[in-house]
Each structure stands twice: as C-alpha cells, then as structure tokens.
Amino acid sequence: MSRVAAILRWLGRFGNSFRSDAASSPRPPHPANVPGPFYVEDGCCITCGVWEDIAPDLLAWTPDDDDRPHCFVARQPETDAEFGRMLRAMDAAEVACIRVRACRPDWAGRLRKAGLGDQIDPPDEPPR
C-alpha cells in the first residue's frame, strides 16, 4: 500500500469514528447495491477504485451518466474464495464504505479477526 493510500485509509477510519452513529447503527446503502448482506454506504465512496484489482466480479461503478461515480456491490459473494476477495477489498479500501449486515457467522468472525469488525452492522437492525 502506498504511503498516500495508507494515510487516506487511516483518515477515513479516524473520521468515521467520530460520527455519532459510527458503531451503533447501520448506514444507508447506495441504491445500486444488489440485495444481500454486503453493501457500499451511500455517499461514502471517494472513487478510490482500489477494489478494481481485487474484486471486479463483486463490485462495480455506477453508470457513466451519473454526475459522480460511486461504487456498489454488483454481486454478493457466494463462495469462500469470493468472500476472501470481498474481505480484501474491504481491507484495502481507503475509507470504510464497504459494509456488511447479517452475514454468515463464520464470515463475520473472519472480518473481526481481520480488524474489520467496525464495518459489520449491529444485528437485528435494518439499514436506514
């Protein structure tokens, strides 16, 4: 990871920690996300594109006719290999925009072990 990317990643996590709802409630998903547990938070994408080399089969950009490009979950991971790519994309992203709610318990455990527990929404709460 480049020094600039590392700094941006750190700033993104730092900034999110001061949101009043940072760890207490789910975030609104971008409307282009496909249904399922993984989603990209609406308005959070900074168009870093780091996921493009990691999980291009799972994430995509909004159409070119949008005023501002935004990434979204185009396909939910179904296998452990696909989940591994989603985990790497979540970890590599410069801000914590890729989130998950109600995912498989073993996958949630792997996310927590990777230090991504703050990107798991609390259980039993629908996204706003």
Whether 63 is covered by a domain: the verdict is yes
- In a domain? residue 33: yes
- 38: in domain: yes
Residue 126 lies in a domain: no
Range of the domain at 82: 3-119
Interatomic CA distance for residues 26 and 8, integer angstroms: 23
Three-state secondary structure call for residue 10: helix
Which segments of the chain have a pLDDT < 70? 1-26, 65-66, 124-128
**Total tally of structural domains belonging to the chain:** 1
> Could you give the CA distance from residue 18 to residue 34 in angstroms, rounded to a whole number?
28
Q: Give the separation between CA 107 and CA 112, rounded to whole angstroms.
A: 9
Residue 112 forms part of a structural domain: yes
Q: How far is CA 109 from CA 31, 35, 105, in A?
A: 27, 22, 6
Is 104 a member of any domain? Answer: yes
Question: Does 125 reside within a domain?
Answer: no
Amino acid at site 83: F
Give the model's pLDDT for residue 69. 87
DSSP 69: -
Residue 65 has what pLDDT? 64
Give residue 25's pLDDT.
55
Q: Is residue 28 part of a domain?
A: yes
Against a cut of 0.85, is the pTM above it? no
